[in-house]
Structure 1
């Protein structure tokens, strides 16, 4: 869906982790992996003491190595949505290129590449050089998996996604968002992040185009009269809540003042059910960004 991004809607900025910080996190994880590997070798020692065949011992040792050096990072990054102990310690997280959480396949590709390409087979030379030369600090495993490591304790990019507007919280909680393409979500996120910088005409046109494209993948349809920016903010805010956790819709706070969505004076609108015309109460104006037509 790259055609939906105009020259004014620049790509979302993220704070990428530096190679030195990533290396320190790697050594923390490596120390834990070595300890885990030695613990797993204890049963192998007992098997060797029973005069087992050399091939059996070698096979068990290889299985322990794979379970440790591949399984550790795969399981940790899958269960924690992109973190290991080393990344926890340094405030890092692995995310997809669009900023979303990683899944099992991303973690597995990164772990396999770490063993056979980036670190162990090449003594770390390939991984370090690739991260140094790549503008986003990617090693080979990140390039293959479509991921990037970001700094969570710097600017909180994940929290920059706007909250779900109050009138749309109940709708967003029951909406099916599973079919939204990652690139389309990134385009919507970039649009909201650059909302203030866009010319009004281009902002309204791009917002309506993004909202119409999003409506093809989201069900049920939003209430009538919802402006495009509010529809997109509701979808992205709910996606973040489902991916990373957060308050349920009935306890979610209202829009924050540092939200990249429209300014506080325009981040609230009357519920379409209570105001079918979609106009702002008392001023007779259409909500900012205008409405959008759903596909037929």
Structure 2
């Protein structure tokens, strides 16, 4: 019996990752929190807009200009800005918080791409533009309930899914070298390990668990590709001379674990 809806994604490096889908309850809770924040932002804007509109209308009347169409223009501009704030809220946070809004961060869920990678600006924009259709027409509720990967219309178009964040790091079932432990201590001081997402860590873990079963050529190629990507993610300028890709990935694995346990 499965109490949570699990999904398996394959990364561009041909590594399979298992995730727990967020579920409609968690997503609705996160959206409720986001709408509280969004309502507060819109309320502040509407107060400022009302003050500005009243002063503008008074100014037009003072200089005796024709203001018959001014109210229509103000309403049109108000509608456009309000919609931009509505869409921009979700675009901004999901794009720059790597798939999370304040509500999603509180509920501990995250939006990722169908290949397990973090979403980009274009994905968050597509999701946000289609959110009114999903919310107002309740289409999103039906699609999340009926589709296997619990996707609303915005997810289907953008190629994204919403998952629960991993709360605990799985214990390793492989050995690491002593040199990796030394390098891990150095990485904690020189690298930005906080930029490494649980999904990124899971890719490293999957590789380290499966590397012994790979042929040497495939292991070498994959380890170099992963090491290069991880180095960019953690903003590490230089890797010590003589450190292999395997050793580097072991060190990152240990450093991430040590940081997560503190």
Q: Is the 8 A contact 2:23 2:150 kept in 1?
A: yes
CA offset digits 1:211-250 (Å, max 9, x no partner): 2445777796774463x54344456788xx7xxxxxxxxx
**Aligned 8 A contact 1:76 1:84 in 2:** yes
Whole-angstrom CA distance in 2 between matches of 1:159 and 1:104? 34
Q: Which runs of 5+ in 1 are unaligned?
A: 176-184, 242-251, 257-296
- SS of structure 2 residue aligned to 1:83: coil
Q: Which of 134, 138, 152 is matched with 1:118 structurally?
A: 134
From 16, 34, 38, the equivalent of 1:33 is 38
Matching residue within 5, 14, 17 for 1:12? 17
CA contact (8 A) 1:16 1:150 kept: yes
Cα distance in structure 2, aligned partners of 1:24 and 1:107: 19
Superposed counterparts of 1:53-64, under 5 Å: 53-64=70-81
Superposed displacement of residue 22, structure 1: 0.4
How many residues are paired up?
222
TM-score normalised over the length of structure 1: 0.56
- The 8 Å contact of residues 205 and 253 in structure 2, kept in 1 or not, is answered as no
Cα distance in 2 for residues equivalent to 1:73 and 1:229: 38
Map of 1:22 onto structure 2: 27
- Matching residue within 214, 219, 235 for 1:207: 219
- Unaligned 5+ residue runs, structure 2? 1-9, 59-66, 193-198, 232-236
Q: Distance in 1 between matches of 2:44 and 2:206?
A: 48
RMSD (CA atoms)? 4.4
Distance 1:213 1:109, change over 3 A: same
What is the Cα deviation at residue 18 of structure 1?
0.2
After superposition, residues 1-296 of structure 1 pair within 5 angstroms as: 5=14, 11-46=16-51, 47=53, 50=57, 53-115=70-132, 117-120=133-136, 123-125=137-139, 127-152=140-165, 155-156=167-168, 165-169=180-184, 173=190, 189-190=202-203, 192-193=205-206, 195-196=208-209, 198=210, 200-202=212-214, 206-214=218-226, 223-224=241-242, 226=244, 229-234=246-251, 253=258
Instruction: Quote the Cα distance in structure 2 between the aligned partners of 1:45 and 1:124.
Output: 31
Report deviation, 1:174: 7.5
| Larger helix percent | 2
Q: Are residues 138 and 208 of structure 1, via their aligned partners in 2, closer, same or farther at CA, if it must alter by over 3 Å? A: same
